[in-house]
Each structure stands twice: as C-alpha cells, then as structure tokens.
Amino acid sequence: MTRNRSADARRRRHTWWTRALGLAVAPLAAAAGVAGIVALATVPDAIDEVRAFRSARPCTLASPPADCLHTYPATVRGTVIENEGRSQLYLLELDGRHPVPAELDMDDEDPLLKQLRKGDHVTVTVWRDYATAVTKNGVTQESSDTPEGLPEFQTVFALGLMAAGGYGGYAGVTAIRRARQRSLPGSVALWGRRTLGAMLASLPAGVVGYETGTGPVGVMLLWLVLLPVVWLIVERQGRRTSGRHSRRPAPSKTADTGAWLRFLQGRP
C-alpha cells in the first residue's frame, strides 16, 4: 500500500512539473515567433537603408540633404590592435563632439589605423547615426559601423526566432496535453534536434547571402536548400547516439528520472 502511494505521488509530481514546463514554454515560444515575424517584416526597411547609404554623397553648403555624408573633426585618444589567433580587435578611440563616437571598430589595421597615434587629428565621416569612415592626410579607412549586412543579419535572426518559436509551441502544447504520460513522444526530441540544426543552418546562409550580394532572398533560398541536409545529419547522429541505449530501462524507484532521460534522448 505504501509503495502504491509513493508511486502515485511520483506520478502526480511528474504530471505537475511536465504541465508547468509546457505552460512556461508555450508563451515564450509565441513571443519568439512574433518577434521573428516582426524582424522579417522589417527586412525591406533595412534593404532601403543600405541602398540609401550606398547612394549617399558628401554634403554641400547649398541645402545639404538629410542623408548626405557629414564630416566632423576628432582627436585620436588611442588605438587598440589585437591580432593573435582568434582574438582580433581593431578599435579606434576618439574625442570629439556629437555624433563622433567614443570608440569605433575599424575591422582592420590597414590602411590607416596602425598609423594613428594619440593626439592625431582626424576627420570622421557620419551618415545618419553611423560613423562610416575615418580620414587623415588623404588616407581614408572605412569602419564596420555601416548598415551593410543588416538585411542579411535580420533575416538570419528572424529565421532562428521563428524556428525556435514554432518548435517551442509544439513542445509546450505536447507537454501540456500529455503531462500524465510517463514520457513525451520521441518526436519532441527529434524536432528539437531538427530545429537546432535549422537555426545553425541559417548562419552560413547569412554569410553566403552577404558575400555574394544576393541579400535576404539568397539567405532564405540557401537556408531552404540546407535544411534537408542538416536534418539528414541530425537523424544519423541521433541513431548513432541511441544505438546501444535503445532498450527500455527496468522499473525502479527512480522512475521519474528515467522518464526525463528518455524524453531528452528522444525515446518513448
């Protein structure tokens, strides 16, 4: 009798925790999905911003347009150049009136950054709220503070959020509906691995879309091409990891722990 009561108590705890997990995951997934849709909807605005930047020209005295290239004087406060192994940092520290930034990432030490010293006077080119370049004695170096790559980055970000939101919604609803079962269906873990693969696949798609100039359309097309490849790799890895451990564990007093382990391994 005592053993039955203990088993019933464990089942109730398992049901409560599983349902609570589902109730917590479902709204977070919905928020991620909505954020992904919003990010994707703003991609056209980012494309327009890049086009406006590429067509910008230096300001003139006769009624300069709002989107022209302004120039502001600044003084070098210092430089940071680190290029050892994976640690790469090319930072220019500036003093100047707004909108000159206090620090500016120059993306490389050539052709100007390595020549600058504390106290040097430079000219900073500003477009909207971007400090796009630095000039000294006729030598100009572009900074990484430009809208270039923003549409591709937003597309990658949106795809990741929508994938996470879709899977989170599915997993959360499944956990709520099947909270009384000993474990969740193996499809929950399988689609979790597929979703992680889909999110990782968006990263190289974003890089290729930017480098080739195909933009967000290229990012999405390449992502769709990579999906089946990534899913095939995920399924093969899943089969390898679960090969020796596919047998159901024997019942014991740690039934709750075993159920969660089976869920994480994607086994019923």
- pLDDT of res. 177: 81
Residue range 143-156: mean pLDDT, rounded: 95
- pLDDT of res. 148: 94
Domain 56-142, classified CATH 2.40.50, yes or no: yes
Asked if the model's pLDDT at residue 30 lies above 70, the reply is yes
Residue 112 phi, psi dihedral angles, 5° rounding: -120, -40
Helix, strand, coil shares, percent, the chain, to 5: 55, 20, 30
- pLDDT of res. 260: 45
Q: Which residues pair with 125 in a beta bridge?
A: 71, 133
Tens of pLDDT along 222-234? Answer: 999 999 888 888 7
Q: What is the mean pLDDT of the chain?
A: 85
DSSP 8-state symbol, 214: -
Rounded Cα distance, 265 and 205, in Å: 29
Q: Which two tokens stand for residue 230?
A: 């990534």
Asked if the model's pLDDT at residue 255 lies above 60, the reply is no
Residues in the chain: 268
Span(s) in the chain for CATH 2.40.50: 56-142
Rounded Cα distance, 9 and 23, in Å: 21
- pLDDT of res. 3: 61
Rounded Cα distance, 103 and 258, in Å: 53
- pLDDT of res. 176: 85
Tens of pLDDT along 237-247? Answer: 766 665 544 44
